[in-house]
Amino acid sequence: MRRSLALLGLLLLTTFSCWAQSSQLPSAPGRWTAAKANAWYASEPFLVGANYNPANTINELEFWQAETFDPATIDKELGWAESMGLNTMRVFLHDLPYQQDAKGFIKRIDTFLSLCQKHKIRPMLVLFDSCWDPNPKLGKQRDPQPGIHNSGWVQSPGADALTDVSQYPRLEAYVKGIVGAFKNDKRVLMWDIWNEPDNTNDNSYGDNHTIKTELPKAKKIAVIQALLPQAFGWARAAGPTQPLTSGVWQFWRNDWSTDATIPAFDKMMLENSDVITFHQYADAAALEKIIPNLKRMGRPVICTEFMARGVNSKFQTHLPIARREKVGMICWGFVAGKSQTYLPWDSWQKPYVNGNEPKVWFHEILKNDGTPYDPAEVVAIKAAMGKK
């Protein structure tokens, strides 16, 4: 009896300890319950994919504008993805094509989803993005700047729209229009409301680079901190059957082991997200550390950006951990092309030109002709997916 009581006490202590360390973050209005999110995730396979932009497009505008939308290239490249067992893609949309021609944009998204379905891929669609050039423009996009990583990627919405409240109704119409068009579409895995919303692009268009066209840090973060919950609300008002998210990404700022250590902006993102998503450009030890800190929130966890060889974020090290934990993994980049993200981030300070190209690629799985940069990586992907 004494032993039984001791065991009972140990069990109660362990249970209390786990409860005490679990997340107590509140939920925003309309957010899925944890039970609903976990039931959704239980029916999903181990999700592995890439952030996808066709190799012949420099950014999401060139991807989606009518003049440059290229189903043949998309079909070919998604076929390569299917052959290695990838089952999802993270794909960036943009508000400007919707403003220009909403029906045409929706039709092109429908065509893309049909191509994804053909290749057994269910994509995550990203509505807004705070990274890179803050001044997007419709029409012909500029050519890549030699030797520079993501030299032509553009934000959505741009700085002008962010700081002009008279444009918020059209942003609302965009979110409700796109989500509403595909709210019951089983070809869509989920909705990523805003990529890295508090990214101020210090290394490229911000404080640490000579272009300096980015909004001031404090102003941009304040505007987006107010606008992001509205964007979640717009999406929820459209009635999607798929979950919503916005991924946290700056783990070096705090230890994340308790709610008290999570920065306020990240708490806001988490409180609105049905499913927890995150970015992880660091080694396997860092991945092992952050997964339990995110899982304590009691919801599914998916990594929507990883794989940067220069910082030891790799398929061979990360996919076995993720499979064990059932944490979905979506790498940055699929086919090397006009985005030039096979080059490192520091290329903004020292462009890789005139024969000084790095020996080790930063991102991307495949070369332009569809052959793997490193065949061992494809072996690792297939092994994680149970594909021979």
Query: Is 232 within 8 Å of 164 (Cβ atoms)?
Result: no
Q: What is the model's pLDDT at position 206?
A: 86
pLDDT at 252 over 90: no
3-state secondary structure of 113: helix
Q: How confident is the model at residue 23 (pLDDT cuts 50, 70, 90)?
A: confident
* Proportion of the chain above pLDDT 70, given as a percent: 95
Would you tell me how many other CB atoms lie within 10 Å of the CB of residue 290?
20
pTM of the entire predicted model = 0.94
Q: What is the mean pLDDT of residues 60-79?
A: 98
* Proportion of the chain above pLDDT 90, given as a percent: 88
Output the six-digit token pair for 378.
């494809």
Q: What is the model's pLDDT at position 17?
A: 41
Domains of the chain: 30-384 (3.20.20.80)
d(CA 102, CA 354): 43
Whole-angstrom CA distances from 309 to 331, 345, 360, 380 are: 11, 12, 7, 14
pLDDT at 19 over 60: no
Q: What is the mean pLDDT of residues 260-285?
A: 97
pLDDT at 357 over 90: no
pLDDT at 11 over 50: no
Q: How confident is the model at residue 211 (pLDDT cuts 50, 70, 90)?
A: confident
The H or E element that residue 89 is part of is strand 88-92
Query: Is 307 within 8 Å of 332 (Cβ atoms)?
Result: yes
* Segment 288-340, tens digit of pLDDT: 999 999 999 999 999 999 999 999 999 999 999 999 999 999 999 999 999 99
